[in-house]
Chain A
Amino acid sequence: MYSFSGKIKLVAILSMVVGLLGIGYSFIAAPSTVEALGVPAGGDAAHAEHVLQLLKNKPWAALYVAALFFMLISLGVLAFYAINRAAQAGWAPILFRVMEGITGYLPVGALIFFVLLVLSGLHLNHLFIWMDPQVVAHDTVIQGKTAYLNVPFFLIRTAIYLLGWIGYRQITRRLSKAQDQASDNRPFVKAFKWSAGFLVFFLVTESMMSWDWIMGLDPHWFSTLFGWYVFSSFITASIAALILVTITLKGQGYLEHVNDSHLHDLAKYLFGFSIFWAYLWFSQYMLYWYSNIPEEVTYFITRLNDFEPVVLGMLAINFLLPLLILVDSDIKRKPWVIGIMSVVILAGHYLDFYNMIMPATVGDQWSIGIGEIGSVVFFFGLFTYVTFLTLTKVPLIEKRHPLMGESEHFHY
């Protein structure tokens, strides 16, 4: 059994407190009237109103990115878990309980995220412009999409995705515990079937959630690749998070049978998914750049004009760095190297989500300040707390998993 170490608990709680203070401050500090902007009277009123709207969005958007990002990390680990169960991977079972620990955050994160969406639906913020009846009244493009983009349907869809994912997580968790007590492989076989079913559900809902929660922020823009692109981003972040939790547990003396071959495999996934992410990023970008159709290309023009350091920074972090460093086989076995790389790649994919969401919500008023950092720190604390708390609930190694023998003796 894992016992929650006091140091991690302290860091997690401290992060939550500091994060909350930062979030609170960012909401208080956000201007509420045009006068508070300090714009000289007689200036362009419409422009000032627009800027005000963006600045009012800023703390909300900061919260939104972080809440979404950490929830998707948990979801990505869940998908990875399902893939390994469905593929009957021989190396992975030893890490299943670790993955289950991380996916323990999914119900918590999903609840917070759902509340955030409900608040948007109640017009407490202006993140989704299609939720604003005044905007829709003057916008024929959005009017054409209201059959899909309307608050009740939006929230119902969201609830279905979240409940489906959480449902799979709870069911396999129960089956995984049942396998420990069982005298045959029935729970294992059941978990295998549930995993195959979940992957189908995930394939569909993953695309839809990316249209709803991210692409919908720019309701004039569309891209068919978008769903898979979002997937490639958060699955990479998920592997990085899985590596970090594994290394932490191993460092504390748990996970006796996890060896450098397991780390090597995880690092290969980190490397592979990083390249895959870059492939999809480039495909989407290049196709719009090449054809240069005005209604599509504005998406990237805004980002390259207003968010240049973010775009270039994340490309360097998410593609170049892993390409150059993680290509070496020996390096992929060194916990400290892949640990550092995981932290850096997590930051890089946070920037990716930041870059997907901010241009639509805060535009050129973006900055990475107290609100943004506070949100990340808060959710980091919560994520860590829930993950390590879940890890204390059951033994870190499944007892009667039929492939555990392979996983324990795994060498590459």
Chain B
Amino acid sequence: MASHYEAPIRNPLIVGDKTYHDVTVDVARPVEGKANRLWWIVFSVALSAFLWGLGCIVYTVSTGIGVWGLNKTVGWAWDITNFVWWVGIGHAGTLISAVLLLFRQKWRMAINRSAEAMTIFSVVQAGIFPIIHMGRPWLAYWTMPIPNQFGSLWVNFNSPLLWDVFAISTYLSVSLVFWWTGLLPDFAMLRDRAVKPFQKKIYSLVSFGWSGRAKDWQRFEEVSLVLAGLATPLVLSVHTIVSFDFATSVIPGWHTTIFPPYFVAGAIFSGFSMVNTLLIIMRKVSHLEDYITLQHIELMNLVVMITGSIVGCAYITELFVSWYSGVEYEQYTFLNRATGPYWWAYWMMMSCNVFSPQFMWIKKLRRSILFSFCISIVVNIGMWFERFVIIVTSVHRDYLPSSWTMFSPTFVDIGVYAGTIGFFFVLFLLYARTFPVIAQAEVKSILKSSGEKYKKLREANPNNSH
């Protein structure tokens, strides 16, 4: 698969004088060591937020949806905004592990494990909302086409909300399998290094007896490729189906055909930003700067810039077509977004999503870690507002002026959202201490082609480079 020749103009992806053993040691260190105080502090904060959110959820379910800020006109607001936001964030993981694999991007190898973990954990957060925003969540199993005693009462397969059930559950299961398959050699490495019996037992269990024979590796590669080939259409279709929740409707501002690819582009945009946020911190605290290099951050910034531009192009397209359509409802929707009572949300979204990624055209800025970190957070704020703007501003003023109204969240809306952020970080922090956060087996496969030391050796002796 890998060619034996690499152009000298390519930058090294692993810096420092690394050997295979160094990679093992560096990756295993956070798992084998003990958590420091900082980790415990952050973990406690995340756990408290999670527990608070859990309380808000219990309160909602036991009291009723009325404790949220929804009203008769605005039936979806923070719940679905957060749902779409979390699903969107989850997409970068699959993008990095599947799409970048199909495009043979070697730089994905240092970041794919954490990106996939992020996928799994954020899809879990997303999955909470479809259940808890139900009026009667205890009947949620009715969305499944299960034979039953109501004369086999079935679901209607015409609803995008049902497609969501299939999409999200398939997405979560495939991502989980894809992730776990990739983890086998790395868990085996931890198993083989473990000195304490308990750790040895655990990593033996989760590594499924991986022994790294030639035949295993050959099948492993084949499976990864097939799963990447399947995960790519899956990732596109999942967010497409999420976008269908709105686009199939007849609401001005929702009913538009660009939503499927535009939601996907937005998902990559926000997902890559989240990966950037997490990895910039992780490389520092886990001492992985040699693997997650400035080059990686720059490339992720470029993806953010490209998808940000695509999203910008879609915004302009929507604006143009709403004017061009001559439909007064469509025209009003966009006028209302820009100048109505939620103008601040619209301009927040515009400035965060359209303008901020354009800074990445400047090399100095996209290679600045601090700047990348700030922009990555700005983008995620902007993408939250994008979903909020699409959902709320389209429904709070639509066909009948007599049903125009406003929406404001209650503390429960906010608490649930904060809870999912807490839950996400609880999972991610636990992951960072127990899982090999870099796919060491994959990184080792590019050590000799893209490691700084070997690149220098080749440069010094070009005749042996082939």
With contacts A148-B324, A223-B321, A402-B9 taken as known, whether A291 is within 8 angstroms of B260 at the C-beta atoms is no
Alpha-carbon separation in the docked complex, A405 to B260 (Å): 39
With contacts A203-B310, A224-B317 taken as known, whether A283 is within 8 angstroms of B261 at the C-beta atoms is yes
User: How distant is A278 from chain B, measured CB to nearest CB, in Å?
Assistant: 10
Q: Which of B3, B6, B261, B466 contacts A411 (CB 8 A)?
A: B3
User: Which A227-249 residues sit within 8 Å CB-CB of chain B?
Assistant: 227-228
Question: Counting CB contacts under 8 A, is A10 at the interface?
Answer: no
Q: Which of A148, A283, A293, A412 contacts B240 (CB 8 A)?
A: A283
User: How distant is B321 from chain A, measured CB to nearest CB, in Å?
Assistant: 5
With contacts A222-B321, A287-B255 taken as known, whether A203 is within 8 angstroms of B244 at the C-beta atoms is no
User: How distant is B233 from chain A, measured CB to nearest CB, in Å?
Assistant: 7
Measured as residues with beta carbon below 8 angstroms from the partner, the interface class of chain A is: 35 or more
Majority-rule SS of A interface residues: helix
With contacts A223-B321, A409-B3, A411-B3 taken as known, whether A283 is within 8 angstroms of B309 at the C-beta atoms is no
Q: Which of B5, B260, B314 contacts A406 (CB 8 A)?
A: B5
Q: Which of A280, A291, A402 contacts B261 (CB 8 A)?
A: A280
Residues of B within 8 A of A409 (CB): 3-5, 466
- Nearest residue (CB) in B for A408 is B5
Residues of A within 8 A of B35 (CB): none
With contacts A207-B313, A293-B255 taken as known, whether A185 is within 8 angstroms of B244 at the C-beta atoms is no
Alpha-carbon separation in the docked complex, A279 to B240 (Å): 10
Residues of A within 8 A of B8 (CB): 402
Residues of B within 8 A of A290 (CB): 248
User: How distant is B246 from chain A, measured CB to nearest CB, in Å?
Assistant: 10
Alpha-carbon separation in the docked complex, A136 to B118 (Å): 55
Cβ–Cβ contact B248 & A287, under 8 A: yes
User: Which A188-211 residues sit within 8 Å CB-CB of chain B?
Assistant: 200, 203-204, 207, 211
Residues of B within 8 A of A148 (CB): 324
- Nearest residue (CB) in B for A224 is B258
Cβ–Cβ contact B3 & A291, under 8 A: no
Question: Counting CB contacts under 8 A, is A145 at the interface?
Answer: yes
Residues of B within 8 A of A411 (CB): 3
Question: Counting CB contacts under 8 A, is A254 at the interface?
Answer: no
Question: Counting CB contacts under 8 A, is B250 at the interface?
Answer: yes
User: How distant is B234 from chain A, measured CB to nearest CB, in Å?
Assistant: 12
- Nearest residue (CB) in A for B243 is A283
User: How distant is A206 from chain B, measured CB to nearest CB, in Å?
Assistant: 9
User: How distant is A63 from chain B, measured CB to nearest CB, in Å?
Assistant: 27
Q: C-beta contact mask, A259-303 vs B, less than 8 Å → 1, else 0? A: 000000000000000010001100110111011010100000000
User: Which A370-392 residues sit within 8 Å CB-CB of chain B?
Assistant: none
Cβ–Cβ contact B313 & A283, under 8 A: no
Alpha-carbon separation in the docked complex, A324 to B320 (Å): 38
With contacts A223-B321, A295-B327 taken as known, whether A288 is within 8 angstroms of B4 at the C-beta atoms is no
Cβ–Cβ contact B7 & A402, under 8 A: yes
With contacts A148-B324, A283-B240 taken as known, whether A405 is within 8 angstroms of B247 at the C-beta atoms is no
Cβ–Cβ contact A228 & B248, under 8 A: no
Cβ–Cβ contact B233 & A275, under 8 A: yes
User: Which A314-346 residues sit within 8 Å CB-CB of chain B?
Assistant: none
Question: Counting CB contacts under 8 A, is B36 at the interface?
Answer: no
Cβ–Cβ contact A224 & B5, under 8 A: no
- Nearest residue (CB) in A for B328 is A144
Cβ–Cβ contact B258 & A225, under 8 A: yes
Question: Counting CB contacts under 8 A, is A114 at the interface?
Answer: no
Alpha-carbon separation in the docked complex, A211 to B317 (Å): 10
Alpha-carbon separation in the docked complex, A391 to B270 (Å): 43
Residues of B within 8 A of A88 (CB): 9-10
Question: Counting CB contacts under 8 A, is B15 at the interface?
Answer: no
Cβ–Cβ contact A203 & B327, under 8 A: no
User: How distant is A332 from chain B, measured CB to nearest CB, in Å?
Assistant: 13
Residues of A within 8 A of B376 (CB): none
Q: Which of A145, A280, A405, A410 contacts B324 (CB 8 A)?
A: A145
With contacts A225-B257, A284-B257, A410-B3 taken as known, whether A291 is within 8 angstroms of B249 at the C-beta atoms is yes
User: How distant is A78 from chain B, measured CB to nearest CB, in Å?
Assistant: 18
- Nearest residue (CB) in A for B327 is A295
User: How distant is A24 from chain B, measured CB to nearest CB, in Å?
Assistant: 37
Interface hub of A144, A207, A222 (most chain B Cβ within 10 A): A222
Residues of B within 8 A of A279 (CB): 233, 236-237, 240, 260
Residues of B within 8 A of A90 (CB): 3, 7
User: How distant is B107 from chain A, measured CB to nearest CB, in Å?
Assistant: 12
Alpha-carbon separation in the docked complex, A288 to B9 (Å): 49
Question: Counting CB contacts under 8 A, is A141 at the interface?
Answer: yes
With contacts A141-B326, A203-B309, A403-B7 taken as known, whether A291 is within 8 angstroms of B250 at the C-beta atoms is yes
User: How distant is A112 from chain B, measured CB to nearest CB, in Å?
Assistant: 28
Cβ–Cβ contact A144 & B326, under 8 A: yes
Question: Counting CB contacts under 8 A, is B1 at the interface?
Answer: yes
User: How distant is A219 from chain B, measured CB to nearest CB, in Å?
Assistant: 9
Question: Counting CB contacts under 8 A, is B256 at the interface?
Answer: yes
Cβ–Cβ contact B324 & A406, under 8 A: no
User: Which B305-330 residues sit within 8 Å CB-CB of chain A?
Assistant: 309-310, 313-314, 316-318, 320-321, 324-327
Q: 6 A-B pairs, CB-CB below 8 angstroms? A: A204-B316, A222-B324, A224-B314, A227-B317, A279-B260, A405-B5
Task: List B residues at the A interface (Cβ < 8 Å).
Answer: 1, 3-10, 233, 236-237, 240, 244, 247-250, 255-261, 309-310, 313-314, 316-318, 320-321, 324-327, 466
Task: List A residues at the B interface (Cβ < 8 Å).
Answer: 88, 90, 141, 144-145, 148, 185, 200, 203-204, 207, 211, 222-228, 275, 279-280, 283-284, 286-288, 290-291, 293, 295, 402-403, 405-406, 409-412
Shortest beta-carbon contacts, A-B, top 7? A224-B258, A225-B257, A283-B260, A144-B326, A290-B248, A409-B5, A225-B258
Known: A225-B261, A287-B256, A410-B3. 15 other contacts (CB 8 A): A90-B3, A141-B326, A145-B326, A204-B313, A207-B317, A223-B257, A224-B318, A225-B257, A228-B258, A279-B236, A279-B240, A280-B260, A287-B247, A287-B257, A287-B260
